Amino acid sequence: MKDLYYILGTDRNCTPRELNAAYQKLARKLQPDEREHDYFLEDHFKEITEAYQVLSDPDQRRKYDAAFKKNYQRRLYYFKIRHLNIVATIALLLFTGLFGWYVMKMLGSSNKQKKVAALAPVAQAPVITSPPGFHHKKKHKVKLEAPLINQLAVLAKDTVIHHSIKPAPIIASKPTVIQQDTIQNESSSNYSIYLQANATGVIYLHELPNYTSAVISKIPDHSKVTVVEKGRQFYKVVYNDQTGYVPKWKVADP
């Protein structure tokens, strides 16, 4: 749709007087010469004449303004839609590119993991190698006749295998020396005393002044015995006509 105001060079809010002055000014410039036919000037003069005829009439001008406004809004709507379509297309392309890049990255990472798993050392069973000079031979079943088997059995019974056994060297062991407590006769006079046992309440009367010697009898706690000789670790005592040794720490000295 032509813009008649643009053709006349006026504003849309111009008055009829301003519209007439603009038309007169253009008409004087574009007045065709009867002697020379200039088609460009003639066409342009017809164009401004038609524009002035429409805009000079108030009713036609009102209808033209409404139609031009409607056409302008429609063109503006299509312009916005076209640009929105362009923006949506660009956004869709960007999203598609990003999604494709993400998919390719995931596929590449999965392929790397597969390669690493494939290159990982696999535990293999140990390979048993034969010693040099050893040749594998197939086992052949040998069929022996009955008489030959019997002869082998008889030979096996009659054959005596002598084994040479070397006697083991005899290692002389040192005699075990049991350290006994040296009894010193500190006092020639005998005296009676009471014994003190541990938590078990039993005191062992040993045959010798040593813990590993044989036990003659068991003496109850707080029993009265007669001390015969004193030693550094054991005392020689007499209990119920039995002479033996008890540890020194079990004797309650007066």
Q: Where does the pLDDT of residue 144 fall: very low under 50, low under 70, confident under 90, or very high at 90 and above?
A: very low
Confirm whether pTM is higher than 0.85: no
Rounded to whole angstroms, how far apart are CA atoms 72 and 88? 24
Location of each CATH 2.30.30.40 domain in the chain: 186-250
Other Cβ atoms within 10 Å of 32 Cβ, number: 16
Q: Where does the pLDDT of residue 174 fall: very low under 50, low under 70, confident under 90, or very high at 90 and above?
A: very low
CATH topology of domain 186-250: SH3 type barrels. (2.30.30)
Stretch (H or E) spanning 153: helix 146-158
Give me the pLDDT at residue 232, please.
84
DSSP assigned state of 171: P
Residue predicted with more confidence, 39 or 186 = 39
Q: What is the CATH number of domain 4-56?
A: 1.10.287.110
Q: Where does the pLDDT of residue 128 fall: very low under 50, low under 70, confident under 90, or very high at 90 and above?
A: low
Rounded (10°) CA dihedral 86, 90, 91, 95: 150
Q: What is the mean pLDDT of residues 134-154?
A: 51
- Quick one: tokens of 184? 């010193």
Give me the pLDDT at residue 63, please.
92
Q: What is the mean pLDDT of residues 162-180?
A: 49
Cβ 23 vs Cβ 17: under 8 Å: no
Average pLDDT over the chain, rounded to whole?
Answer: 75
pLDDT of residue 166 exceeding 70? no
**Tens of pLDDT, residues 28-80:** 887 766 666 667 778 888 898 898 899 888 899 899 999 998 898 888 888 88
